[in-house]
Amino acid sequence: MSKFENDGNVNYGLIVFIAILAAVVSAFVTYKATVSGSGKVAILDVDKVVISSRSAIALQNAREGQIEHLQKMTDDAEARLKVEEDANKRKQMSDAFVAEINSQKEEYDQQYYAALQLLNQSIKDVAEKVAAKKGIKVILLPSAIFQGGEDITDLVIQNMEQ
């Protein structure tokens, strides 16, 4: 048995080798993009952009309102079920309440995820515009770079609010 083999079905040595190879290739591509003069590298802290964005804050507030509404619907349903004495009717009411609450939750989820996609696209569009103005060809997350790169986070935040 070679050092890349394993008793079970999973070949962990090969997985580690592929992960190291991917990291080396990624580092090489980033290096070539910066050293070859094909463009500058920038850093974008997306978490900071989201936290600072009025749109994201409004979206979070709207989501909290949706959750509060669903909780109120649940509390109202429970209160109405408590006063119903007929077990069969209570079961029918419960099924109807669950269906109504689940339907409302699905609608809220669709609205929320559609808004998240718009926010994500907006951040991407603004970052691309800022990068184009500054001649930046590569934008990385802070966790993907050890040193170097121009931080464009604040510029993206400023342009998001315009």
The verdict on 32 and 66 lying in the same domain is no
The verdict on 2 and 56 lying in the same domain is no
The verdict on 119 and 148 lying in the same domain is yes
- Tens of pLDDT along 29-60? 666 555 555 568 888 888 888 888 888 888 88
Region class of 136: left (phi > 0), else alpha (psi between -120 and 50), else beta: beta
Q: Bridge-partner residues for 136, per DSSP?
A: 40
The verdict on 80 and 149 lying in the same domain is yes
Q: Which helix (H) or strand (E) holds 43?
A: strand 40-43
Question: Is residue 3 scored above 50 in pLDDT?
Answer: no
The verdict on 56 and 125 lying in the same domain is yes
The verdict on 106 and 33 lying in the same domain is no
Determine the Cα–Cα distance for residues 63 and 55; give it in Å rounded to an integer.
Answer: 12
Region class of 40: left (phi > 0), else alpha (psi between -120 and 50), else beta: beta
Q: Residues 82-105: what's their mean pLDDT?
A: 94
2 pLDDT band (50/70/90 cuts)? very low
The verdict on 23 and 98 lying in the same domain is no
The verdict on 23 and 58 lying in the same domain is no
Least confident piece of the model among 3-17, 69-83, 85-99: 3-17
- Write out the residue range of the structural domain in which residue 128 sits: 39-160
Domains identified in the chain, total number: 2
- The whole-model pTM stands at 0.65
Say which DSSP state 162 is in.
-
Question: 8 versus 90: which is more confidently predicted?
Answer: 90
The verdict on 8 and 51 lying in the same domain is no
Tokens for 126? 């603004």
- Tens of pLDDT along 57-78? 888 899 999 999 999 999 999 9
The verdict on 110 and 154 lying in the same domain is yes
The verdict on 24 and 85 lying in the same domain is no
Q: Give the other-Cβ count within 10 Å of 84's Cβ.
A: 14
CATH number for the domain harbouring residue 118: 3.30.910
Question: Is residue 8 scored above 60 in pLDDT?
Answer: no
The verdict on 28 and 48 lying in the same domain is no
Provide the percentage of residues in the chain whose pLDDT is more than 70: 76
